[in-house]
Structure 1
Amino acid sequence: MSTIKLTECPRDAMQGLHHFVPTHIKAAYINLLLQVGFDTVDFGSFVSPKAIPQMRDTADVLSQLDLSRTNSKLLAIVANLRGAEDAVQFDEITYLGFPFSISETFQQRNTNSGIAQSFQHVKKMNALCRQNNKQLLVYLSMAFGNPYGDEWNAAIVQQWARQMVDEGISIIALGDTTGQSTPEKITAIYPDLLARFPETEFGLHLHSTPATSAAKIKAAYKAGCKRFDSALKGYGGCPMATDTLTGNIATEDVMAFMQSEGINLGLDMEKWREAMAYSAKVF
């Protein structure tokens, strides 16, 4: 079995779409992705329907998912304690993901709470997850810089990684919401965190333009990353970030790179091709 863990992110790909994708279309698409064999599928979010109207049907989508033919785990994004309380009610969900930005400006934009308050939310959500047999995955968003002028450096990333580890968070994904990462930054930051916190699983959730994604994937792999978030065809981006959306890393680019390294990801490529074709109905 491959040591590389891929998280496919249809939620991230869909959330910024202006047209509402019908619930049955979302579910059919995600059901195809579930059969491909990804480690995790980031399928939806329990957030305010006013903030992200596309995700208002997450519970209904979940009710239409067929988990009988998949080993993929489900991940749902939450932005506050109320969302976490909703999400933990569903046995099918393994991970709750919380976007914790080290940029004060973006944390306010994304979750309507500052960094200090959001860290208190992390503590409460982590306790809630433990009580309900879930695992909290924290995204350290803006981990490679931000476009808002907020202070950023590697020491700030290390500081917040340390605080998350001390709170018992065992999976942390470094997020690059607005495409600020470079191969050089990835090479400088990622291995250092692996060395400092060897018991913690660090992933990467990178957004990128297509022209720069291949170099970032290579840098991440060479830096020791074994957990990658991506989205089919590179769709998506965060609608709460800057006005110009920077899409996700394309899953097929990650697949191609791993193949070039001789890594068998163990995926069902027939189902992948079906999902690729079906995506035209979604996007």
Structure 2
Amino acid sequence: MSNNQTLQLIECPRDAMQGWPQMIPVFQKVAYLNALLHVGFHTIDFGSFVSPKAIPQMADTREVLEALDLSASRSGLLAIVANTRGAQDAAAYDTIQSIGFPFSVSETFQRRNTNSTIEHSFGTVSEIQEICMKKGKDLVIYLSMGFGNPYGDPWSEELVLSWAEKIAAVGVRTISLADTVGLAEPDQIKQLTGALIADLPQVRIGVHLHAKAENRLAKLEAAFKAGCRRFDGALKGIGGCPMAGDKLIGNMDTEFIIQFLEAQGIETGIHKGALQKANLLSKEVFSPVIL
């Protein structure tokens, strides 16, 4: 039976915040995350246990986590890590349900993002999966540069499928295809996402798409038609990966995803009043760029 039928909406404030030029104070992060926790998302990608030198904006993740009010939320928390030590730190918290690790099929980007080779990073995936199994966490592997890369590194659908199969073989049950620098074409998204879903029915296949306003519908529609039902987004479409070293192309706008899914007759379970409140707070958190 396929693991890809039920809808999972993932809100990614961590992705929106991590590259923000001004430091966002802890109290603002906590207020914003608490508002998002009431919206009804499946998961909140809230922070990361990585080197503060690499991502200064995420240096306060522990402090933020300990201040969150999780009492009335059905959303799970996901933290991103870049190595085994980060996974151990994140797994120590009972309040974190999922641990995310970026595994790139581009050698250049893997070195940029986690300072390691692809082969070494695959060993890290196995180690983190063991930690997750011992601590009762779900491991989410992001296939970074999943649709190609700007560095001239080898890429093919067969290469992506091969790595996905190896990752699934160590017990990982959620893999998200990441359009890290926004270069994926709709046909490519539909083909590769559909191929993964068909090849790995026991694995939940998601997409973490970056898009501009003019191509976001075509990209989202392609993933949906391929059978994908796990979508990452960020309110206002803010974000992108600062480790890519390229001009950022923002995340898929969460409200756009919700509107699209509802137009397809999908019940999202989103609380619109809480979403509106979170939207208002986002204007303060990401001020003055968003007016």
Give the TM-score range, shorter chain: over 0.9
Classify the secondary structure of the residue corresponding to 2:41.
coil
- CA distance in 2: counterparts of 1:201 and 1:125, whole angstroms: 18
Q: What corresponds to 1:150 in structure 2?
A: 153
> Does the 8 Å contact 1:178/1:242 carry over to 2?
no
Q: What corresponds to 1:35 in structure 2?
A: 38
Q: What corresponds to 1:62 in structure 2?
A: 65
Alignment equivalent of 1:190, drawn from 186, 190, 193: 193
Q: What corresponds to 1:223 in structure 2?
A: 226
CA shift for structure 1 position 242: 3.1
- CA distance in 1: counterparts of 2:249 and 2:263, whole angstroms: 26
Q: What corresponds to 1:261 in structure 2?
A: 264
Q: What corresponds to 2:289 in structure 1?
A: none
CA shift for structure 1 position 123: 0.7
CA shift for structure 1 position 3: 2.7
> Does the 8 Å contact 1:42/1:75 carry over to 2?
yes
Q: What corresponds to 2:206 in structure 1?
A: 203
Classify the secondary structure of the residue corresponding to 1:266.
coil
Q: TM-score, normalised by structure 1?
A: 0.98
Alignment equivalent of 1:272, drawn from 267, 270, 275: 275
Q: What corresponds to 1:250 in structure 2?
A: 253
Per-residue deviation, residues 73-130 of structure 1 (Å, max 9, x unmatched): 0000000011111111100000000000000000000011110111111111110111
Code of the residue aligned with 1:243 in structure 2: it is D
Q: What corresponds to 1:212 in structure 2?
A: 215
RMSD, matched Cα: 0.9
- CA distance in 1: counterparts of 2:165 and 2:218, whole angstroms: 28
Per-residue deviation, residues 1-36 of structure 1 (Å, max 9, x unmatched): x93210000000000012110001001001100100
> Does the 8 Å contact 2:15/2:240 carry over to 1?
yes
Alignment equivalent of 1:95, drawn from 80, 98, 106: 98
Classify the secondary structure of the residue corresponding to 2:207.
strand
CA shift for structure 1 position 195: 1.1
Q: Percent identity?
A: 52
CA shift for structure 1 position 243: 2.4
User: Are 2:182 and 1:179 aligned?
Assistant: yes
Alignment equivalent of 2:76, drawn from 73, 77, 85: 73
Q: Structure 2: which 5+ runs fail to align?
A: 287-291
- CA distance in 1: counterparts of 2:200 and 2:240, whole angstroms: 29
Code of the residue aligned with 1:195 in structure 2: it is A
Classify the secondary structure of the residue corresponding to 1:240.
helix
Q: TM-score, normalised by structure 2?
A: 0.95
User: Are 2:175 and 1:164 aligned?
Assistant: no
